[in-house]
Amino acid sequence: MLYNLLSRMERSRFEPSVVSLSNRGILADKLARISVPVYPIDMKPSHPTLGAVIRLVRKIRQIKPDVIQGWMYHGNLAAQLGAALAPMPVPVLWNIRGSHYRLKDEKPLTAATIWMNARLSAWPAKIINNSAASALGHEQKLGYRADKRVIIPNGFDTSLFVPSAEARRSVRGELGLNDDAFLIGLVARFDPLKDHLGFLNAVAILLRKDPNIHFVLAGRGVDKTNSVISEAVARLGFEKQLHLLGDRSDIPRLLSAVDIATLSSYSEGFPNVIGEAMSCEVPCVVTDVGDTAWLVGDTGFVVSPRDPNALAAAWHELIVLGAEDRRKLGQRARKRIIDNFSIDHIARQYEAIYEQVYFGSGRTATIECAE
């Protein structure tokens, strides 16, 4: 999302830079190709030091930004601290991109950072959330300031995530399936919040009605070496119908190939993968968490989380709907993304906020502090 945003900013009005709290990372080369410099602070993971803070402040003083945008929790804290120690007043915005307000589920340093940000949440000019549900969770459970709230959802590259008949054929060929095989896809890293076990239970329920459906899973940790998934699949007995791909770099291709994209999470903010699937003209079945119902609208089905029967029933309803009606739903889904959630549309909202907090000054520079 950070890359997509910076790639769409109007360069005649904004000059973005990125300060990375760690090293340059894999994003730096992509940003260099769109002429966005990346300045690493080289902070060691889980080991913030005085030296790293000094390097951060020096870099901010060197860049002399007009606006500082924090990006995620550690970036928000760094942005606020760096601005406080810089010699010139700089408006700071925060950015929250998930439902990480259950501190017991977080690593100790991350939990402490989230809690500290809540105590400091009166300081930023605005707190941008990509999800209304996430914003409310942070405010009600942790005490983040509600009067700072701005909701700007994720934006999607509708030129990258497109329908593709070739992707449909090639992915089925890769999986050893016939061209007409029905494929349901789940793209999500392995995490308890994604509820892969609930998904697998729903698979077992659906296969009792239609044993010819296939399922493809992709995401970090979602492969045959995952003992939790492998043991559940062996117990439920559908190894041949399940295809575990692990971490992939061809997500647009995979999403274009499935007949139904799905989400089984019991906690989310604003899930990118569903918007990306919708942009590929794929109807979706999602759990009612975060802002998924708002995102999907009337282009798919929304069911209760942690309810495998409901998830399986929604899949079955889409299957019996037939190919032509699914195609129409998918077309409506892509139009919804283009009309409401395209990355260009979202970039204009960010730009408007940046200009608003800068109080009308004529200079045009933006610094992004990324985690």
Dmax (CA) for the chain in angstroms is 67
Residue 99 has a pLDDT of 78
Residue 287 has a pLDDT of 98
240-270 pLDDT, tens digit per residue, is 999 999 999 999 999 999 999 999 999 888 9
Residue 367 has a pLDDT of 43
- Report which of 191, 220, 1 is spatially closest to residue 106, judged by C-alpha positions: 191
Give the DSSP H or E segment for 114: helix 108-119
pLDDT over 70 percentage in the chain = 96
Confidence of residue 363 (pLDDT cuts 50, 70, 90): very low
What is the full DSSP assignment across 141-196?
A: HH---GGGEEE----B-TTTS---HHHHHHHHHHHT--TT--EEEEE--S-GGG-H
Residue 43 has a pLDDT of 85
The pLDDT of residue 364 is above 60: no
The class that CATH gives domain 165-340 is alpha beta
Does domain 2-155+343-370 correspond to CATH entry 3.40.50.2000? yes
Residue 366 has a pLDDT of 42
- Among 102-106, 124-128, 198-202, 230-234, the range scoring the smallest mean pLDDT is 102-106
Confidence of residue 370 (pLDDT cuts 50, 70, 90): very low
The more confident residue out of 44 and 365 is 44
Q: What is the mean pLDDT of residues 40-44?
A: 88
Identical topology for domains 2-155+343-370 and 165-340 = yes
With 0-12 / 13-18 / 19 or more C-beta atoms within 10 angstroms meaning exposed / middle / buried, residue 116 is middle
The pLDDT of residue 361 is above 50: no
Rounded CA-CA distance 93/21 in Å is 17
Rounded CA-CA distance 232/208 in Å is 16
Residue 81 has a pLDDT of 93
Confidence of residue 44 (pLDDT cuts 50, 70, 90): confident
Q: What is the mean pLDDT of residues 10-18?
A: 95
Alpha-carbon Rg for the chain in angstroms: 22
The pLDDT of residue 72 is above 70: yes
Q: What is the mean pLDDT of residues 92-109?
A: 87
- Among 50-64, 86-100, 162-176, 210-224, the range scoring the smallest mean pLDDT is 86-100
Domain boundaries, the chain: 2-155+343-370, 165-340
Confidence of residue 104 (pLDDT cuts 50, 70, 90): confident
Q: What is the mean pLDDT of residues 287-312?
A: 97
Rounded CA-CA distance 82/54 in Å is 9
Number of H helices, E strands in the chain: 15, 13
